[in-house]
A and B are shown apart, each in its own frame.
Chain A
Amino acid sequence: MAEEKKYKKPLPRVDEESRPFWEACARHELYVQKCRSCGQVFYYPRSFCPADLSQDLEWVKCSGKGTVYTFTVTRQNQSAGFRDNLPYVMAYVELDEGVRLLTNIVDCKPEEVKIGMPVEVTFEDATAEVSIPLFRPVTR
C-alpha cells in the first residue's frame, strides 16, 4: 500500500456501553440489541433496554441489509474530514431488523441515492481498531 491516508473525521468515543458494538464493527460485523425481557430491538447500543430498563439483553447480528429511509446530499460542511469530501450522502437506513440508524451512503454517485433503495453494510477502517459502518447500494 502506498502512503496511508489519514482519517480526519471524528472517531467514536467508545465507552463501556458501546464497546461490544464497536469491537464487532472492527470485525466487519454489524449488531443491534434486543431485550430478552420485552423483545424490543433497538439502536444505538446501550447497557439497558430503552423500553423497560431491563439489563437482560442480547446482541443480534444483523444481515447488514436495509433500505434508505431518508438522506441528504451535504454540499457544505466546514469541519475537518468532511470539507475535503464534499458532497457526501448522510442517511438514515432502516435495517431489515427494523431499526433506523444514521450513516453514509457510499460507493455510488450522490444523485443515484433514492429513498427505499436497497443497501448493504460496508465498513471503513478508520484506524487499526475502529471501523465505521457505512452502506452501499446492493449490487446484483
Chain B
Amino acid sequence: MSIKGKAAVVGVYEHPLRWAPHKTQYQIMAESARGALADAGLSIKDVDGLFTSGVGPMGVVSLAEHLNLYPDYLDSNSIGGSSFVSHTGHAAAAIAAGYCNVALILYRSTASSDRFAIGTGGGGSFDPPEQFESCYGPTTVGDYALVAQRHMYEFGTTSEQLAEIAVTIRRHASLNPLAKFHDPITVEDVLASRVVSSPLHLLDCCMISDGGGAVVVTSAERARDLKKKPVYIQGAAETCYHTSAGMRDLTNAAAKQSGPKALARAGVTHKDIDMAMIYDSFTITVCVTLESLGFCKKGEGGAFVQNGRIGLGGELPINTDGGGLSSNHPGMRGIFLVIEATKQLRGECGERQVKDCNLALCHGTGGTLGLRHSGATLVLSV
C-alpha cells in the first residue's frame, strides 16, 4: 500500500511566542490545536488521531486527557526533533489504512523560560551507550562539532562555507515577522562569534526559544471540502543512524537512507523540489543533510550552500521561515518544517514566498549527528 496522495495537511499553526514563561506547555499545545483546527475549518470534535512527542512517560495519553479526547489512534513516537515530521508520515499511513480520519499533531516547549541548556548541558540517559559517553562530556554542540571537524578534514569544507548557511537563513528570518532574530549577519559576524565547541561558533548554533505548533492531517477526500488548499503528503520515510558498533562514518546522516526512499515513494526527483525545510540545529546539520539527501554529492555541501543557491530566489531555497538558527528552536523543531512548507505550498508566505512553489521536501534530524540521530523525510505537494 502506498500513502502517496491519500492524505493532506489541511491545517497548520505556529505559536507566535518565543518566550512564554506565563504559559504551561499544555496550554501552548491547546492554543496551537485551536489555531490549526481553525485554519483547517475543523473542530476538536473531528479529531480522532493524536500525535505528540516528549510529554512524559505516558506520552500522548496525558495530552489526550488534557484535551479531553478519546482518539482512535495514538502515536508518541519520540525520536527527537524529527518526531513531528515522522508523525506527519505516520498520520498519512494511519489515515490511508482507515485507522483515523483527522490527525492532530502537537508540539510545545518552554525550554527558554525554563533555562534549559539544551546545547551545552549534560544530557544523561539510561540507554546502554550512555556509560561509554557521558564521562567524556558530550554536549549537543560538541556532538555535532565532531561531524563538522571530520567534514572539514575529509572534504576541505570551511567555516566560511558553514557561515554562509547561517547568513542565508538569517536573511530569510528578516522576512518573517514571527522570527526571533531579524538583523542581518555576515560571514564575518559568524566567524567572529565565540567558539562554543570547535569548529562551531555561537552563530553556527540554533537558538533556544519557547514555542509550539500544530498540524492537522486528513484524507485527501475530506481535504477537498475544507477551507484551505490541501497540501498532499506524497512520500515519507525515516530511519536512525548511530555509532554502528564502532564503524560509523560520521559524514553520513540518516537522511541518506530516508531521503531517497521518500522521494521514490513520491515518484519525484531532487530537481522537482521547489523548496526544502532542512532541520538546522547547526550549520553543519544543513550541510551534511543536503549531501545525504542527495541534493549534492558527498563532500560538496560546503560549495553547494554558497552563491545564493539555498537562498530565496536560488536554485533550492531552504528554511524560508528563518529556521532554528534565526526564527525559533524550542528543542525539537520538526513541526515547524511541516508548517512552513505547508504555508509555502499554499502561497501564504508574503515577502518570503518562493515563486511557483508546488513541491517541497522536509527533513527532520533528531538527536545528535555525532552520536545517534533519527532522520525523517517528507515530500509535500499542492
Partner of A17, one of B128, B130, B197, B250: B128
CB–CB B120/A32 < 8 A:
no
Q: Does B269 contact A (CB under 8 A)?
A: no
Q: Which chain B residues lie closer than 8 Å to A42 at the CB level?
A: 245-247
- Known contacts A79-B121, A99-B246: A13-B126 contact under CB 8 Å: yes
| A contact residues around B122 at 8 Å (CB) | 10, 77-80, 82
The answer to whether B250 touches A92 (Cβ under 8 A) is yes
Minimum C-beta distance from B266 to chain A (A): 33
Q: Which of B119-166 contact A (CB under 8 A)?
A: 120-122, 124, 126, 128-139, 141-142, 145-150, 153
Does B117 have its Cβ within 8 Å of any Cβ on chain A?
Answer: yes
Asked whether B67 is an interface residue with its Cβ less than 8 Å from the other chain, the reply is no
For residue B196, which residues in chain A have a CB less than 8 angstroms away from its CB? 74-76
B198 located at the interface, meaning its Cβ lies under 8 Å from any Cβ of chain A in the complex: yes
Q: Beta-carbon contacts of B309-333 to A below 8 Å, as 1s and 0s?
A: 0000000000000000000000000
Check if A27 is an interface residue, CB within 8 A of chain B: no
Most chain B CB inside 10 Å of its own CB: which residue of A69, A77, A82, A100: A77
Number of interface residues of A (CB under 8 A): 49
B27 proximal to A (CB < 8 A):
no
Chain B residues with CB under 8 A of A51: 245
The residue on A at minimum CB distance from B139 is A77
How many residues in B have their beta carbons less than 8 Å from beta carbons of A?
Answer: 41
State how many angstroms separate the Cβ of B364 from the closest Cβ of chain A. 23
Q: Mark A97-140, 1 if CB is under 8 A from B, else 0.
A: 01111111000000000011000000000100000100000000
A-B contact pairs, 21 of them (CB 8 A): A10-B124, A18-B132, A69-B250, A70-B150, A72-B145, A72-B198, A72-B199, A75-B194, A75-B196, A75-B197, A76-B196, A77-B120, A77-B121, A78-B122, A79-B121, A79-B122, A101-B132, A102-B371, A104-B137, A115-B149, A132-B135
